[in-house]
Amino acid sequence: MALILFQTIIQTLSSTLHWLGFASGIRAAVTPPGKRWFWLIGSAAFALFWLAGIALLASNDFFRNTVFPPRIPLAIALTLAAGYAALLSGSFRGIVTAIPLHWLIAIQTFRVLGGVFLIRYAQGELPGVFALPAGIGDVATGVLAPLVAYWCYTGKSYARSAAIAWNLFGMADLINAVAIGYLLGGTGIVFPIVLIPIYAVPRAFLIHSYALISLLGRTARAPVAQVGGLVAAASSR
């Protein structure tokens, strides 16, 4: 019961913070008041029903290992597909790029909670071949998140390179954990721990992706801004 309560609180808190970051992008990118409220209310309702729905399914053993196709990989794939498909919308893409980069990075501090895999390994409830790389990778990503976010916020010269490397490491850690878990048949991944792979993992992966899009977008815009400045300077002479 304590573990269920803990997971419920953590997933609810992280989802709320994720929505607040998205809301900051809405306020920055959507100017018509009516459209802005549509995005704010719609995204909040979507976040609420998504979390409630996935938790209800998981608590009823919907993501058990004995069905085909395997539902944990399917849940991850569908979430990622929806997250990337949403980028086809210009409005959604504009909102994502308007979210502060340091926020997209700092929110991943929640990854330190992947240390629960290490605890369950120590208790003999998870195999080390899965728990050790998944737990250590998550903890490392979460511990470094505030530092990399701070570098980006303060505009350190090495911030962009560090942010790209950190995002790639975080994504590789998620891929590695999911792959090992799938090869092991999802051993020990039951409710409420199953909320991590079916809900937290794809969200974290999408946030990494959105952060990289923001980082690469800034690189693409920099030469344009420099050329524009040169043209303006030349015309003023």
**Over 140-196, what HEC string results?**
HHHHHHHHHHHHHHHCCCCHHHHHHHHHHHHHHHHHHHHHHHHHCCCCCCCCCCCHH
DSSP calls for 35-49: HHHHHHHHHHHHHHH
Indicate the range of 118-132, 138-152, 202-216 predicted with least confidence.
118-132
Q: Please indicate, yes or no, if residue 230 is contained in any of the structural domains.
A: no
- pTM for the predicted model, two decimal places: 0.89
Instruction: Tell whether 94 is covered by a domain.
Output: yes
In a domain, 225, yes or no: no
Would 102 be classed as within a structural domain? yes
pLDDT digits (tens, 9 = 90+) for 40-99: 999 999 999 999 999 999 999 898 877 788 888 899 999 999 999 999 999 999 999 999
Is there a domain that residue 227 lies in? no
Q: How many domains does the chain have?
A: 1
The DSSP H or E segment spanning 2 is: helix 2-29
On whether residue 234 sits in a domain, the answer given is no
Residue with tokens 């018509």: 32
State how far the Cα of 134 lies from the Cα of 112, in Å rounded to an integer: 11
Going by the DSSP 8-state scheme, the letter that residue 66 receives in this structure is T
| pLDDT tens, position by position, 180-225 | 988 887 655 678 888 988 999 999 999 999 999 999 886 544 443 3
CA distances from 107 to 18, 74, 131, 233 (A): 7, 25, 23, 40
Is residue 230 predicted with pLDDT exceeding 70? Answer: no
Would 231 be classed as within a structural domain?
A: no
How far apart, in whole angstroms, are the C-alpha atoms of residue 126 and residue 135? 11
The domain in which residue 63 lies consists of: 2-218
